[in-house]
Homo-oligomer: A and B are copies of this chain.
C-alpha cells in the first residue's frame, strides 16, 4: 500500500460520518478516489430512496480525498464549496461515488464527482448525481 493510500485510509476511518452512513473507501489512485455505499433505510428520504444528503456526503468525501492525492506535502484539504445536480432518484442496492481532480493548484483544487447507482437489473450502473467542487489546501499545523 502506498503512502497516500495509507494516509487516506487512516483519515477515512477517522470520519465518524462515513461509519455512520456505512460508507467504504473503495479505490485510491493519483487524482481519483471511489467511495461505496450500500442501500439502507437509515439513509432514506421520505419516499424510501437514499437522501440527497447521504449521496452528497460520499461524493464530497471522494472529491476531497482525490484532491488530497495531489495536495502539496504537509497540507490537508477542506471543502471550500461544492455544487451537485441530482439527475434521477437515488434508487439502487449500491452506490459508488467517484471523485476526480480536474485542476490542482497550490492553494485550490477543482474536482468533479459522479455517483452511480447499481441494482441487480442494472449491473453497469446509472449516473444519479454530478458534483463540481472547490477544495482548499491548508498547511498542517504541527
The yes or no answer to A69 lying at the interface (CB within 8 A) is no
The yes or no answer to A142 lying at the interface (CB within 8 A) is no
* This protein's copies in its complex: 4
The yes or no answer to A67 lying at the interface (CB within 8 A) is no
Decide: A79 near B103, CB < 8 A? Known: A43-B17, A136-B108: no
Contact of A132 among B19, B46, B58, B83 (CB under 8 A): B83
Q: Are B87 and A78 in contact (CB under 8 A)?
A: no
Decide: A134 near B134, CB < 8 A? Known: A43-B16, A82-B84, A102-B87: yes
Q: Are B44 and A134 in contact (CB under 8 A)?
A: no
The yes or no answer to A94 lying at the interface (CB within 8 A) is no
Residue ranges of A at the interface with B (Cβ–Cβ < 8 Å): 11-12, 14-21, 40-46, 50-54, 56-58, 60-61, 78-89, 102-103, 107-108, 110, 112, 127, 130, 132, 134, 136
